[in-house]
Amino acid sequence: MRIGLVGFAGSGKTTVFNTLTGLHVPTGFGGDVHLGTVKVPDRRIDRLSAIFSPKKTTYAEIVFSDIPGEHGAELKGLSGKALQQIREQDVLCLVLRAFANPALDHPADPARELDAFATECLFADLAIIERWLERARKEKKSALDIGHFELMRATLEAEKPLRSIPPSQLDRSALTSFGFLTDRPLMVAINCAEAAVTEPLPPAIADRLGSLHAGGLVLSASVEAEIATMDPADQQVFLDDLGLSESAVTRFIQIAYGLLDLISFFTVGPDEVRAWPIKRGTSAKQAAGKIHSDLERGFIRAEVMHYPQFIEDKSEHVAREVGHLKLEGKDYLVADGDILNIRFNV
């Protein structure tokens, strides 16, 4: 999964990026796009790995991209290069500045930054849709449903993002090549002053997030940077002291998984214990295809064990004996924490 950090210059994107990825890229205005990979922490994988002692343990991964905003003291628009980057992300994370940044001459105004970003994305999508409708009208024919484009235009004109259109009203599979910005899952990270880390989302922002269908979290990049330098044992003590249950990276991942409606299934064995992120509602056959296309093509059945039961049983042998190992067909909907073994024949 790819999460792109976006926002205005000086909002703290690079600082957040460094704390999430453990990298040390230079902060300050401008700069290049940076990429950093983070393993998705999962205690279930830790426990399965302890049972199997596999040669390899593979966690799900997230690639964070730090996408620079435009240089300048004013809230300026996104450059073409930034837009290009944004279109490649699965989830956008808008970093909003809620701390006093001495390098900028305007005070923090996260609600204004949020509105500016949302409006910009909205206009970018509207321009694409109007161009498309214009051409369809001229040519008097189109490969795609004009009604869908009219619905999208009406939605944007009502200042609502495309992601607010329910799946039953819009066939998104035909629209992927357009890369609409307001259809991309959006989360907002309020980068606040150290003293404000345990405060809830400001009500003005929480309201806007509702109408934007976006997720949100409050963090302090400088507090997180401090946490990142500590021993794991001290980290939890420090988090508890601050009244935070989890570090930003864990909260980030939970929100992103929620927005994308992702769950995980596992494969286990002496060679590898591995987590596989999939969309909720994925069938056993499609899930097999995530592992290898041969497994999907030659799918016969899936042997399924549920993680909580397996942790009691501790071995496939016991799971079989007590009836915790079920055989499921291709249409079985994989559940979060399922341990799968695909029987196939090609």
Ligand X SMILES: Nc1nc2c(ncn2[C@@H]2O[C@H](COP(=O)(O)OP(=O)(O)O)[C@@H](O)[C@H]2O)c(=O)[nH]1
Task: Give the footprint of ligand X on this chain (CB under 6 A).
Answer: 7, 9-15, 27-29, 99, 101, 191, 220-222
Structure tokens at 325: 């190992």
Minimum CB distance to ligand X smaller for 95 or for 334: 95
Contact code string over 7-26 relative to Mg ion, x by CB under 5 A: ------xx------------
Minimum CB distance to ligand X smaller for 19 or for 182: 19
Minimum CB distance to ligand X smaller for 94 or for 165: 94
Of 228, 244, 230, the C-alpha closest to 15 is 228
Contacted by 15, from ligand X, Mg ion, none: CB < 5 to 8 Å by type: ligand X
We find the least distance from the C-beta atom of residue 10 to ligand X, in angstroms, to be 5
DSSP for 262-329 reads EEEEEE-SSSEEEEEEEETT-BHHHHHHHH-HHHHHTEEEEEEEEHHHHHHH-SHHHHHHTT--EEE-
We find the least distance from the C-beta atom of residue 179 to ligand X, in angstroms, to be 23
Neighbouring C-beta atoms of residue 208, cutoff 10 Å: 19
Of 8, 16, 227, the C-alpha closest to 117 is 8
Contacted by 11, from Mg ion, ligand X, none: CB < 5 to 8 Å by type: ligand X
Contacts of 287 (CB under 8 A, 6+ apart): 265, 276, 278, 302, 334, 340
Which stretch in 29-37, 197-205, 236-244, 292-300 sits in contact with Mg ion by CB under 5 A? 29-37
Minimum CB distance to ligand X smaller for 189 or for 302: 189
Q: Are 220 and 197 in contact (CB under 8 A)?
A: yes
Minimum CB distance to ligand X smaller for 12 or for 289: 12
Q: What is the 3-state secondary structure (H, E, C) of 119-152?
A: HHHHHHHHHHHHHHHHHHHHHCCCCCCHHHHHHH
We find the least distance from the C-beta atom of residue 31 to ligand X, in angstroms, to be 7
Q: Does 155 bind Mg ion (CB under 5 A)?
A: no
Q: Does 85 bind Mg ion (CB under 5 A)?
A: no
We find the least distance from the C-beta atom of residue 69 to ligand X, in angstroms, to be 6
Q: Which residues in this chain contact Mg ion in the complex, by CB under 5 A? A: 13-14, 31
